[in-house]
Amino acid sequence: MMENKDMLMDWNDSIETDGQEYVLLPEGDYNFTVTHFERGRFSGGPKVPACNKATITVQVEAKEGTTSVKFDLILYRTLEWRISAFFRSIGQKKHGEKLTMDWNKVIGSKGRAHFKQRSYTNQNGEEKFVNDVDRFIDYNEENFLPDDLPF
C-alpha cells in the first residue's frame, strides 16, 4: 500500500475533523458515480462456492446529502445477471449483447440504481440501517443532464 505522507499524524498533532454524518437515503432511484473498485474473494456459502468478487463503492448525491454505498458483485454464473445489470447501468453493456468485463473502466463511471434501506443488528444488539442497491437501472444519458437546461 502506498503511503501518503500528508495523512500521517504525530502523537501531539491538533485534530479537528469529526467525520461525515452518515446519510440514510429514502427508498428511490438515484444517480451514482463509481469511486472505488477492489478485487477480492467470496468465502463461499450454501448456494455459491468460494469464488472471485468485485467490491464496488459508489457515491450518491441526494438532497439529504452525499453518501457512499458499497456492494459486492460475485463472479459466479448463477449471479451473472446482476453483473450484467451493473454494466448496463453504467452504459458499458446493452441488453442481449456479449461483453468482456473491463474493470479498468469502472471507476468514474456514472450509473443509476434503485436504493433501499436494509436493516441489520450490530454487535450491541441494536437494529441499524444501511443503504443498499435493490436493483440497477439501465443507462440513460438523460439521467445525467444538468437540471438547469433551458428547455
Residue 4 has pLDDT above 70, yes or no: no
Number of folded domains that form the chain:
1
Nearest CA-CA partner of 113 in 17, 27, 32? 32
Q: Is residue 112 part of a domain?
A: yes
Residue 1, Cβ density class (10 Å: 0-12 exposed, 13-18 middle, ≥19 buried): exposed
Q: Is residue 2 part of a domain?
A: no
Q: Is residue 145 part of a domain?
A: no
Q: Is residue 36 part of a domain?
A: yes
pTM: 0.82
Q: Is residue 124 part of a domain?
A: yes
- pLDDT above 90 covers a percentage of the chain that reads 79
| Span 99-142, pLDDT tens digits | 999 999 999 999 999 999 999 999 999 999 999 999 999 999 99
Q: Is residue 147 part of a domain?
A: no
Containing domain of residue 48, as a range?
A: 23-139
Q: Is residue 17 part of a domain?
A: no
Sign of the CA dihedral 16, 68, 47, 120? positive
| Span 18-39, pLDDT tens digits | 666 789 999 999 999 999 999 9
Cα dihedral 136, 104, 37, 15, rounded to 10, equals -130
Q: Is residue 105 part of a domain?
A: yes
